[in-house]
Structure 1
Amino acid sequence: MKSKWTRRLLFVTATFVVLWLAVPGAPGRAVAAKAHKFAIILPGPIEDADYNFRGYQVSQDIKKRFKIATSYSERISPADAERVAREYIASGFTIVGFHGGQFIRIVKKLAPKFPEVNFIMESSGKGKVPKNVWNIHRHFYEGFYPFGVLAGLATKTNKVGVIAGIQLPDFKSSINTISDALKATNPKAELVFAFTGNQNDPVKARQTAEAMIANGVDFIINMVNLGVYGVVEAAKKAKRKVLVTTFYTDKTDKAPNHFAGTLIVDFRPPFAKAVGGILKGNRTGYVPMRPGNGFELKSLGNVSAKAIAKTKEAYEKVRAGSIKLRLEMKKVRLAK
């Protein structure tokens, strides 16, 4: 039978251990970090080799980098995302990431209801977020700016096109900075743009590209996902040489004679920064996703050496912050 003094000693010892584990930076904190589980919710199939595949890569990178359990759910619509997130939380997941700006409202709804859970969202701005949310702010307008330089130096007809799917603020602001870069590089060049209404419809994208090409466009900057394959088909069938760009993943091998460059969009670096911050005890934070941190240029080709050099130079200036870019997200206003 334990004596009265023994019971008191055990109580004091247990209390000390609890308090020690609560101290930031204490050795026992490493055990708590290992208990974290990360899940990411994706809007489409990871087989797309594009946007959703990039989200899948995040789950694999987090698992390898931080040695914690990870999971992902694909083909999840905004209407179903809350249910999926709640299921993850009920299963003990402590960090839930959402791949896409369409989930912001859901994050802001769930965060106050589950204060013990960490949420990561992607957005188009800084904004105010709940105390347990990390915001990854995608600066697409910075990433696309160098393509305006590339197009201005590569076009032979002085007609450049931009094809996007949905009228997202990110795309509107990117068209504006492309317009600024094009005007500064080649004042004679004209920029036209179109929204097909669908990011992944290659038929609509092909028809839009064909119409642009018929009107003299010989350089098309893509802001569609799987729709890019329709644009490529239109370029291949054109009577004159038509160059195209793509983004998210490099697709140069699909049409090596027509692709002029890729804007690589890699979500692993910003998500790693957010998860790393959470594991250190930072419940909220802001990560700008921009050239140098998630955005990179790759596979510049089918253009002159001068065009490649000037495009890389523009990218480096944007990355370094030595160029102040216009940020206008509500409406497309082409440079005059």
Structure 2
Amino acid sequence: MLEALAVAATSPRALTDEQAVALLGADGEDLEELAAVADALRRERVGEDVTFVVNRNLDGTRVGADLPLVRELVAEAVALGATEVCVQGPVPAAAGPEGYLDLVRAVREHDVHLHAFRVPELLEAADRRGSTVEAFLRAARDAGLGSVPGTAAKVLDDDVRTVLNGGVPDLPVARWVEVLRAAHAAGLTSTSTLVHGGPESAAQQVRHLRLLAAIGRGTGGITEFIAMPSPLRPPSARATRALHAVARLLLDGAVDHVQAAWPKHDADLVVQLLRGGADDLGGLLLDGERDPAAGQEAGTTLSREGAAALAGRAGRPLRQRSTRYGEPVPA
């Protein structure tokens, strides 16, 4: 452990897989030192600001075939200060072969960034309109899509994905990576994620992070990393802190931002993550008054005051950002 911490403090990109696995097991004083090392790297790379984006989530399955409602909800979100709208889940078949693109156009009638369509939805959208995924990505970009979620990655290991999929093979890792790289090639950015605390091992977590780093260095298209606790077996606070810190180290030079996802953790743990390598809170998740249940996370919102309180407890200033971490204007 001492050797791994020494390498992490002086040359994090030189960490071996074995050393990274050891760091994921850090506890007690070792965990506090790991958090301090990761936070020093965070400070050097992205500064002191704790950032957030003002956004609204919409459930694509629920609203994707009702474009007048989509327009109303987006207009309300923009009026409330949102610079990003995130569409989660597939667009229903009733929307027709061009349903995904019609939804993009409806959202982009307003001056707001659209963050939408995971890898499975990108593949479905292309199949539905009878095109390659590359052709769909170009059409979606031209219609106004700005970025795609890196969710549905789960754990980038085919054996683990099969277990998580009930013993049935899931979308192969190679295909997931191919589609995400195609999105980046089309000019779209993406987030990246890891669902942790399930059946995966520490070594598989490290391999997942190494693969994300390779994609990020190769394309420059990943804006942030988000560790999401498994609903099957929620990880401990210790494991969560260690993973965020190790992610900051292993993704150095490939993914600039590490998110402390406030909807997934209690406030005390969010503050600890902000003191251990994380620099972002994610989105405020506005509900609005017009059909607040239109998002999958309805009722889960964070006020600016709440965000400021979390940043303040971490001893850091708060700053609103855009989806791509620039000034808070639509991108």
Q: Same fold (TM over 0.5)?
A: no
**Structure with more contact order per residue of length (Cα contacts < 8 Å, sep ≥ 6):** 2
Which of structures 1 and 2 has the bigger CA Rg?
A: 1
- Which structure has the highest strand share of the two? 1
TM-score by length of 1: 0.30
Q: Which has the higher helix share?
A: 2
